Amino acid sequence: MNKLNTLLAGAGIALLGAVGANLAMAEAIDDGHSISDDYDVIAKGQYLATLGDCAACHTLPGGKELAGGVSINTPFGKLVAPNITPDKATGIGSWSYGQFKEAMTKGVAPVGHLYGAMPYTAYTRVKDSDLRALWQYLQTVQPVSNDIEANQLPFPFNIRLSLIGWNLLNFHPGEFKPDPHKSAEWNRGAYIVEGLGHCGTCHTPKNIIGGDKNSEFLQGSSLENWTIPNITPDKQKGVGSWSTQDLVDYLKTGVNKYTIASGPMAEEVHNSSQYWSDADLKAVAVYLKEGNGHTTQTEAPKPLASNNPHMVAGKHIYEDRCSACHTPDGAGVEGLFPRLADNPLIRQDDTTSLMHVVLAGARAGAVSSRPTAPSMPAFGWNMTDQNIADVLTYIRNSWGNAAAPVSASDVSKLRSTLSE
């Protein structure tokens, strides 16, 4: 994985530690309940593991399921997602349910306090019955011997006790409480987004020590050289102009009339949201479309004048390099080439993703319903930094878009990062 912008913005890197042994299915857990092999409970737990996209952080590409090893380079050092199979020596098998719940909801494991890259700040909202089902499913996973040193941070960041202070500033424990003034569908969507789905872990801006800026919940961030967009109902920069069906289509297939998922979101669709139930897809869409009542509607700025030198240069580059696929009017081809016209994703403050796909290209995530994923070719090899800045500035200020220009220096910086 590439370098993150913050220590604690990992897409669900659950650093639960590398200790543990297998708790047999017949053993009793610490509160008197026994671990059941009931198919329905285990199936529910498996679905919840998919809903929470556990595999994204705990399963290496081509590796054993949930055996850990996914690494993350942070500004403070390296963290590695641990083995969470029920292996007796290197997994979490020896943990009781109570210890598992402490880790998931309080950020405290047998190894000590957990780093916020494990999104317990969201998982604290998950109800006990769902945690139990998830726990019981994890007991059925094939145990894998894979000893991992999860905490590879240098001194003093490797001192877990420092997280006590971090929690005081950034952690607000407590199970999700439904809003009685909202529909059951909205509340289900809120429960997923704010809880096990941990959408805010990526989509919420971070403060200087990596905690979520909760006053800007879901208003966008950045991760692994990609823009993590605003997904609030803001019509200028968020998903306010998307219909509920647009949101469902995007989560289910990675494609809608506005965009095609790429980067971390393509992985999320591939690993997780394509498998969500129709009811959960709709619930999340309803919640995102309506918001939590704290959305800020951004006023659209005036676009750059068409005779601006960068606009003139960008128009010529667009006509030569982009219009064949995205069409001269920026409308694109639905389901194949993303629409650029009047698109809030084009108007994000952070232009990292736009620069990324032009420099290095991108391939959409394939899903079962769309096994052939379209791709964007790389242009970094034959376009200068100024060329890329100009064409993106033109796109961001044409066909109903209006946003700040892109600078050649920003393109140059990202080009250097991607080449490392």
pLDDT tens by residue, 133-178:
999 999 999 999 998 777 766 676 667 778 888 889 999 999 999 9
Does residue 266 lie within any of the structural domains? no
Segment 98-107 mean pLDDT: 96
| pLDDT at position 23 | 35
Rounded Cα gap, residues 60 and 80, in angstroms: 11
Q: Does 371 sit behind a cis peptide bond, omega within 30 degrees of 0 on the bond before it?
A: no
- Report yes or no on 244 lying in a domain: no
pLDDT of 37 strictly over 70 = no
Residue 408 clears pLDDT 90, i.e. is over it: yes
Residues 6+ apart with CB under 8 A from 161: 112, 113
Instruction: Answer yes or no: is 125 within a domain.
Output: yes
pLDDT digits (tens, 9 = 90+) for 191-220: 999 999 999 999 999 998 889 999 999 999
Distance between CA 71 and CA 67 in Å, rounded? 12
Q: Cis check for the bond before 156: say yes or no (omega within 30 of 0).
A: yes
Which of 176, 108, 100 is closest to 139 using CA atoms?
100
- Of 6-10, 95-99, 155-159, 366-370, give the lowest mean pLDDT range: 6-10
Domain end (from 137, 161, 185): 161
pLDDT digits (tens, 9 = 90+) for 324-344: 999 999 999 988 899 999 999
Averaged pLDDT for residues 10-27: 35
Q: Is 102 contained in some domain?
A: yes
For residue 275, is it within any domain?
no
pLDDT tier at 295 (50, 70, 90 boundaries)?
confident
Distance CA 42, CA 133 (A): 6
**410: CATH:** 1.10.760.10
Whether residue 416 is predicted with pLDDT greater than 50 in this model: the reply is yes
- Predicted confidence at residue 148, as pLDDT, reads 79
The answer to whether the Cα torsion of 169, 174, 176, 179 is positive or negative is: negative
**pLDDT (0 to 100) of residue 282:** 98
pLDDT of residue 133: 97
User: End of a domain among 161, 180, 210?
Assistant: 161
Q: Two tokens at 404?
A: 């700040």
User: Number of folded domains in the chain?
Assistant: 2
The least confident of 26-40, 141-155, 308-322, 323-337 is: 26-40
pLDDT at 375 over 90: no
The pLDDT of residue 33 is 44
CA distance 114 to 397: 44
Instruction: Give the rounded percent of residues in the chain with a pLDDT score beyond 90.
Output: 70
Q: Is the pLDDT of residue 12 over 50?
A: no
pLDDT at 80 over 50: yes
Q: Is 74 helix (H, G, I), strand (E, B) or coil?
A: strand
Instruction: Tell which residue, 233, 239, 247, has the closest CA to residue 291.
Output: 233
Q: Is residue 44 part of a domain?
A: yes
In this predicted model, what pLDDT tens digit does every residue of 239-270 receive, in sequence order? 999 999 999 999 999 999 899 998 899 999 99
**Bridge partners (DSSP) listed for residue 375:** 363
Give the pLDDT of residue 8: 34
CATH classification of the domain holding 124: 1.10.760
**Of 109, 143, 161, at which residue does a domain stop?**
161
Answer yes or no: is pLDDT of 66 > 60: yes
Please indicate, yes or no, if residue 261 is contained in any of the structural domains: no
Average pLDDT score over residue span 93-109: 95
Residue 142's contacts (CB-CB under 8 Å, 6 or more residues apart) are 64, 65, 85
- Using an 8 Å Cβ cutoff, are 288 and 247 in contact? yes
Mean predicted lDDT score pLDDT of the chain = 88
Q: What's the domain range around 326? A: 309-365+374-418
C-alpha dihedral over 351, 355, 358, 363, to 10 degrees? -70
Model confidence at 366: pLDDT above 90: no
**Distance of alpha carbon 30 from alpha carbon 405, whole angstroms:** 59
Confidence of residue 10 (pLDDT cuts 50, 70, 90): very low
pLDDT of the residue at 339: 94
- Position 123 in a domain: yes
